[in-house]
Amino acid sequence: MQPLEGKKIVLGISGGIAAYKCAELTRRLSERGAQVKVVMTKAAKEFITPLTMQAVSGQPVSESLLDPAAEASMGHIEIAKWADLVLLAPATADLIARMAAGMGNDLLTTVVLATDAPVAVAPAMNQQMYKNVATQENIATLQRRGMSIWGPASGEQACGDIGAGRMLEPMQLVERCIAQFQPKLLQGKKIVITAGPTQEAIDPVRFISNHSSGKMGYALAEQAARLGAEVTLISGPVNLATPANVTRINVWSAEQMHKAAMEHAPLSHVFIGCAAVADYRPAEIAEQKMKKVDGSDELVVRMVKNPDIIAGVANLTHNRPFTVGFAAETQDVEKYALDKLSRKKLDLICANDVSQAGIGFNSNDNALNLYWPNGHKNFPLASKQALAQSILEQINELTQ
C-alpha cells in the first residue's frame, strides 16, 4: 500500500518563483497514492499555468472565487470539506500576511478559512522578506493557530541573495505529508534532546569546538514533535531554525549543557544525547585576549575533563528516562559503540562512521547502526529526517 493511499491533498499555489516546483511535487504526491486538487492564486498563474497543473494532477484546477459554474455548488466550501490536508506551497509573504489577518479575498484564502483539515505552510520568499519582523510575526500567528510551518530552507535564491527563504524541495514536502498522516506514536511522551557542538572558551575571542552542525539532533526534535511528543531541545551554537512546536534552550559550553540536561532529564520519558560535547575544556579562561609571545612557537593550554552528560543522565537514581546516546567514530564502530552502551549504562546507542565521505558532520545524510542490550538494527544511507523517524520508531518500540 502506498504511504498516501486515499489521502486527499489540496495544494495551494501562490505567486512565487518556486511555483515551478509544484508540477514535480504534485507528481510525487500522486505516485505515493494521494489525490491532489490544485488551487491557484491569480499571481501563481504568472509562474506556472493551470493547464500544466491539471495535466500532472489529473484534476481540474480551481483558480477563481467568482467562477459562477463552481460557486453554483459552493465550490470553495466543497474543496475545503474534501481535503484531508491543505498544503500551501509556495506560501509567499503576501499569502502568509493575508492568512494571518484572516482575509478571504480569493479562492485560496477562503478555502483555508473554510476547512477543518490541517493546514501546512511552506514559506518561499526573499531572505530579507522572510527576516522582516512583520513576516516573522505573521508566521508566529499561524503557528499559534495550529498551522504547521514546513521550512523554509536556506541557500542561494533566484534573486541572487543567499539566506533563509527557499521553499523546501518537492521530496522534502512529500516526506512531511507522509509524516502528517502517520499515527502520533509519541503522543503524551516528553523528550529531551541535546544537539550541536559545545564551545569551550580559551579567552574572550577564542574557543575549542568541533564540526557538529546540529542537523541530526534538530531532525530528531522536528520528527519527535510531529509524532506528538512534547520536545525540549538543548542546543549548542548552530545556524538552524527552531523546529515547530519545540522548546529550545540555547547553551554554549559543556557545563551549561550539563546543567540544563540534568534539570530537564528527570522530567522526561526519553533523553537523547545527540550533541557533540567537548570532552575537555581549558582549566582557566584568560580574562584578556592571549597574545603571541616573542621567541616562543608554542602555546600550552592545560585542559580538564568536562562532565559526562549522557552518563550522568543514565545513572540517575530517581525519575531516570530511557537514555539514548550517539557514538561518532572513525574506526571499529561496533566495538566502541557496544563499549559505550555498556560502560555508560545506556538503553540505546546510535553509532556512525564519520570517516566516510558524505555522511555525519555537516551532511544532510547519514547511515547508522543502532545497538541496545540483545538487539541491533542497521539503517543505510538516508536523509537525517528519515533516519530520525526510524530512530524514534525504534525508541517507541523499546519503551512499550
pTM of the model: 0.63
Q: What are 30's three cell numbers?
A: 500522486
Q: What pLDDT is attached to residue 360?
A: 57
Residue 209 or residue 293, greater confidence: 209
Name the residue among 261, 181, 256 with its Cα closest to residue 226: 181
Q: Looking up cell 600550552, which residue turns up?
A: 300
Q: How many alpha carbons lie under 13 Å from residue 394 in its C-beta half-sphere?
A: 24
DSSP tally for the chain: helices H, then strands E: 14, 19
Q: What pLDDT is attached to residue 73?
A: 47
Question: Is the per-residue pLDDT at 45 higher than 50?
Answer: yes
Q: Cα(67)–Cα(110) distance, rounded to whole angstroms?
A: 14
Q: Looking up cell 542546543, which residue turns up?
A: 235
Q: Cα(229)–Cα(330) distance, rounded to whole angstroms?
A: 33
Q: What pLDDT is attached to residue 220?
A: 95
* Average pLDDT in the chain: 90
Q: What pLDDT is attached to residue 64?
A: 81
Q: Looking up cell 499555489, which residue turns up?
A: 13
Pairing mode, if any, of strands 348-353 and 322-329?
Answer: parallel
Residues that constitute the known binding site for CTP: 273-275, 279, 289, 307-310, 326, 340, 344
- Mean pLDDT comparison of 70-74, 149-153, 240-244, 319-323, highest-scoring range: 319-323
- For the segment 293-320, what is each residue's pLDDT rounded down to a tens digit? 877 888 888 999 999 999 999 999 999 9
Which residue type does 219 have?
A: A
Q: What pLDDT is attached to residue 361?
A: 64
Name the residue among 378, 373, 313 with its Cα closest to residue 351: 378
Catalytic residue among 22, 159, 177, 350: 159
- For the segment 264-292, what is each residue's pLDDT rounded down to a tens digit? 999 999 999 999 999 999 988 988 998 88
Report the percent of the chain where pLDDT is more than 70.
Answer: 95
Question: Is the per-residue pLDDT at 198 higher than 60?
Answer: yes
Q: Looking up cell 491557484, which residue turns up?
A: 40
Q: Please, which residues have CB within 8 angstroms of residue 332's CB and are 6 or more apart in sequence?
A: none
Residue 385 or residue 249, greater confidence: 249
Lowest mean pLDDT among 39-48, 173-182, 191-200, 327-336: 327-336
Average pLDDT estimate for 117-128: 92
Q: Three-state SS string across 232-252, please? A: EEEECCCCCCCCCCEEEEECC
Residue 46 or residue 74, greater confidence: 46
Q: Cα(158)–Cα(167) distance, rounded to whole angstroms?
A: 11
Question: Is the per-residue pLDDT at 228 higher than 70?
Answer: yes
Q: What are 290's three cell numbers?
A: 592571549
Q: What pLDDT is attached to residue 358?
A: 60
Name the residue among 117, 114, 137, 135 with its Cα closest to residue 126: 135
E-assigned strands of 198-244? Answer: 200-203, 206-208, 230-235
Q: What pLDDT is attached to residue 32?
A: 93
Residue 361 or residue 14, greater confidence: 14
Q: Is the peptide bond before 60 cis (omega within 30 degrees of 0)?
A: no
Average pLDDT estimate for 232-236: 97
Q: What pLDDT is attached to residue 16?
A: 92
Q: What pLDDT is attached to residue 72?
A: 44
Coil vs helix vs strand at 252: coil
**Is the Cα dihedral 315, 321, 327, 328 positive or negative?**
negative
Confidence category of residue 350, pLDDT binned at 50, 70, 90: very high
- For the segment 55-98, what is each residue's pLDDT rounded down to a tens digit? 999 999 998 876 655 544 455 688 999 999 999 999 999 999 99
Q: What pLDDT is attached to residue 154?
A: 78
- The partner residues of 379 in beta bridges, in order of sequence, read 368
Contact 16, 90 (CB under 8 A): yes
Question: Is the per-residue pLDDT at 363 higher than 90?
Answer: no
Confidence category of residue 250, pLDDT binned at 50, 70, 90: very high
Q: Looking up cell 531516570, which residue turns up?
A: 320
Does residue 177 carry a catalytic annotation? no
**Is the Cα dihedral 11, 142, 150, 159 positive or negative?**
positive
